[in-house]
Amino acid sequence: MTSVAVFITLALAPTDEPADADAAIDDGASTASDDEASTAAPGARALPPPRGEGGRAAPRASAPRGRPPSPAARAPASYVWTGGASLAAAELGALATGARVSAELARVAPSARAGLALRLSYGWADFSVVPPLAGEARFRLSDAQVEPCLLARSQRLYVSACAAGQLGALSATATGVPVSGRATMPWIAAGTSARLRVHLTHGLSLEAGIAALVPFIRRTFALADPVRPVFRPAPLLLEGSLGLAMSASF
């Protein structure tokens, strides 16, 4: 048992121990006493850590760290509210001019260049028709319009493509004739629209839009005494608009 204990102690000792200890092991001689063997074992030192180039300790390998998500990836999608007013012109068999006010709510992710929007607006347009013989018929088209949209954006531009639906009324008032009166027909139309918005300053933008809609109801307005037709809406309505809009994000 004594020789085994000495062998383990010397095997764990650093390389700068005296060389005669190794020689004693090779000869198989037991030169240390039982007391020396018992005191030598506690004094044994562990092997030194591996050394790198230049005698410096090799750096410890650290666990790889994941890249933190970017602020844009952590940020939730933002909502953009836009309200505006514009001048409008419509061609529906006669040229009508008016205005349109609108409100839009869009949802856009910070890191994306596309989003969704819902736009509500109310517009009106006036025109007049001079029938044969005498008199005048004054018309007003008023409608509420809803538009679900896909939008794309850049630093200063918003471009949107929408489906559009209109619900309203086309009314006419006859003047300058023996029998004057007022007539109204319902207005229901659907189609598409597109819009371009250019940011001018913070929150303020210039907006231009165009729409093409098909009316589902087309009745003929006529005057009496004598009976003569005055106006019937065209099968396609074209509308253009130009105005200003204010936006806010939340």
**CATH number of 86's domain:** 2.40.160.20
Domain annotation covers residue 48? yes
Region for 54 from its dihedrals, namely left if φ exceeds 0, alpha if ψ lies in -120 to 50, beta otherwise: left
Convert the pLDDT of each residue in 108-147 to its tens digit.
887 778 899 999 999 999 999 988 777 889 999 999 999 9
Question: What pLDDT does 56 receive?
Answer: 58
pLDDT at 195 over 60: yes
Q: How many domains does the chain have?
A: 2
Domain annotation covers residue 24? yes
Domain annotation covers residue 66? no
- 42 and 86 co-located in one domain: no
- 184 and 219 co-located in one domain: yes
CA nearest 217: which of 162, 164, 170, 147? 170
Q: In which band, very low, low, confident or very high, does the pLDDT at 14 lie, cut at 50, 70 and 90? A: very low
Domain annotation covers residue 60? no
Domain annotation covers residue 139? yes
- 45 and 93 co-located in one domain: no
- 90 and 200 co-located in one domain: yes
* Token pair belonging to 68: 């933190």
The Cα–Cα gap between 82 and 197 comes to 11
Convert the pLDDT of each residue in 32-68 to its tens digit.
445 544 444 454 455 555 555 555 555 555 555 656 5
- 96 and 195 co-located in one domain: yes
Q: In which band, very low, low, confident or very high, does the pLDDT at 23 lie, cut at 50, 70 and 90? A: very low
- 169 and 220 co-located in one domain: yes
Domain, as residue range, for 12: 2-55
Question: What pLDDT does 119 receive?
Answer: 98
- 18 and 105 co-located in one domain: no
Please name the residue that has the structure tokens 């001019």: 97
- 238 and 143 co-located in one domain: yes
- 30 and 135 co-located in one domain: no
Domain annotation covers residue 64? no
- 148 and 32 co-located in one domain: no
pTM recorded for the entire structure: 0.67
- 23 and 147 co-located in one domain: no
Domain annotation covers residue 69? no
- Alpha-carbon distances of 133 from 136, 194, 225, 227, 229, rounded to whole Å: 10, 41, 11, 11, 12
DSSP string, 27-56: HT---S-HHHHHHHTTT--PPPPPB-GGGP
- 99 and 27 co-located in one domain: no
